[in-house]
Amino acid sequence: MIGWLTAQEWGIVLLSLRVSFWATLLSLPVGIAVALLLARGRFPGHGLLNALVHLPLVLPPVVTGYILLVVFGRRGPVGGWLEAQFDIVLAFRWTGAVLAAAIMAFPLMVRAIRLAVEAVDAGLEEAAATLGAGPVLRFFTVTLPLILPGILAGSVLAFAKAMGEFGATITFVSAIPGQTQTVPSAIYAALQVPGGEAGALRLVLVSVLVALGAVGVSEWLSRRTRKRVAGR
């Protein structure tokens, strides 16, 4: 027993933290780009892109996991190609858990960043343009500092969602102890075993603490964004 968790439970928590960290980090650049496209872009297919981004929120997670298995499995078109060309296998690997968690958390990240972008006063960017700043310079000197709290809020929400992801993950990578068993799948497994309620409760407490912390930090950052944009 290490603290109030067993060594095995600590391993599960650390794996979940690793999966959530990489899921958030790898999806962040794409999330910022997509949020900017949805907030500022006017192009054919805008509605379709918006629908695709939010699809994981409305699809049953098991369906998302099955699609990942079909596409990124060892016999899938993308998964087979990745294995043949780069010896990369995602199905039933912790890296596959990263992919599943990233896809399920992506809509929350994009939504938070998009709201921050839409709240930015376009006049500030126009003023920078009149001073000779190009699009890239305007983004890094004006837009990015203003939307940074929104980016952080989206990242925190995505991290928490990734920590709690179950359906897509267990469908795509299963729940192999020490390899792909994250906190939610470990809770489910513990509840199937007589006497496993105590271990499940400890992991539930970890999940609740992470979720409460994420919501609190996200709300604080959202308030910071509104105040910053309003100039207060």
The CATH number assigned to the domain holding 99 equals: 1.10.3720.10
1 lies in a domain? Answer: no
Distances (CA, A) of 231 to 46, 137, 149, 151: 31, 21, 14, 18
200 lies in a domain? Answer: yes
2 lies in a domain? Answer: no
Residue among 209, 190, 206 nearest 5 (CA): 206
> Which residues, at least 6 apart from 167, have a Cβ–Cβ distance to it below 8 Å?
60, 61, 62, 64, 65
- Mean pLDDT on 6-34: 94
Q: How many domains does the chain have?
A: 1
160 lies in a domain? Answer: yes
Question: At residue 68, does pLDDT exceed 90?
Answer: yes
Question: At residue 115, does pLDDT exceed 80?
Answer: yes
**pLDDT tier at 49 (50, 70, 90 boundaries)?**
very high
91 lies in a domain? Answer: yes
5 bridge partner residues = 2
Burial 59-73 (b: 16+ CB within 10 A, else e): bebeebbbbbbeebb
As a whole number, the mean pLDDT across the chain is 89
94 lies in a domain? Answer: yes
Predicted structure pTM score: 0.89
187 lies in a domain? Answer: yes
pLDDT at 228: 62
Task: Please give the residue range of the domain that contains residue 39.
Answer: 7-230
State the DSSP H helix or E strand holding residue 189, giving kind and residue range, or none if neither.
Answer: helix 183-191
Question: Per-residue pLDDT tens for 204-232?
Answer: 998 898 888 888 887 787 777 667 656 55
pLDDT at 139: 86
89 lies in a domain? Answer: yes
